[in-house]
Structure 1
Amino acid sequence: MRNRSTDTYVGIHNDLHGGMTAIGTIIKDAWVFGLIPEDETCEGWKLADVQMLYDKVSAAWAPYGHLVSRLPPELREKHTRIYDAAIARAQAAGWVPGQDMDSDME
């Protein structure tokens, strides 16, 4: 989700259902790999900066075949902690997996 008036990202906590979007996944994965601090929401980032973060996240996943099951234990535990918390927040706010669509994707 983006702020169409400025072409900047609204931040993971302001994104659809607390970041249960493609950009939110990039940010959560960046937290997992330590590419950005876990308190970085990316609010106000230009979309080009999000794309550069995506490239870094993709490179970080590559050695593991982009599969959580192939992560070493410490990264798998961090992934589980980050994603479980995000899912719980989103569900508490009414998110139902697969039921909602990001309006930018329509």
Structure 2
Amino acid sequence: MRDRSSQTYVGIYNDMHGGMTPIGMIIKDAWVFGLIPETETCEGWKLPDIQTLYDKVSAAWEPYGHLVSRLPPELREKHTRIHEAAIKRAKEAGWVPGLDVDSEMDGSFE
């Protein structure tokens, strides 16, 4: 595997299928929990920055057992809004769930 520590992320809207990737999920969940503003696409972030965000998102999910059904109503509504909008954008751009497998996500970093 190549060293990606100096590569930069392309941003959620430039990522495969508009961010329907593991990194895109981290960003959308960071929006849900208010860890970054919804205007932050993470374009230009390095892999260590994404890892730090992942750690924060994971910690934010812990009290809810990483389950949407356990989120308080306001967070559940925000999660639904953010994720439904992302799914709609991705489908309009041609995304088909299950057909987007890319084990190394090579397109995510430049």
Matches within 5 A, 1:61-100: 61-100=61-100
Cα deviations across residues 13-71 of structure 1 (Å, max 9, x unaligned)?
A: 00000000000000000000000000000000010000000000000000000000000
* Amino acid paired to 1:89: R
SS at match of 2:53: helix
Alpha-carbon distance, 1:105 to partner? 5.0
Larger RCO (alpha carbons 8 Å, 6+ apart): 2
Alpha-carbon distance, 1:7 to partner? 0.8
> Is 2:24 aligned against 1:27?
no
TM-score under structure 2 normalisation?
Answer: 0.89
Is the 1:16–1:102 contact (alpha carbons within 8 Å) kept by the matching residues of 2?
A: no
User: Which runs of 5 or more residues in structure 2 are unaligned?
Assistant: none
SS at match of 1:8: coil
The alignment's C-alpha RMSD in Å is: 1.4
Q: Percent identity?
A: 80
* Amino acid paired to 2:49: D
User: Which runs of 5 or more residues in structure 1 are unaligned?
Assistant: none
- Give the number of aligned pairs: 102
> Is 2:23 aligned against 1:37?
no
Alpha-carbon distance, 1:11 to partner? 0.2
Aligned twin of 1:17: 17
TM-score under structure 1 normalisation?
Answer: 0.92
4+ runs deviating over 2 angstroms: none
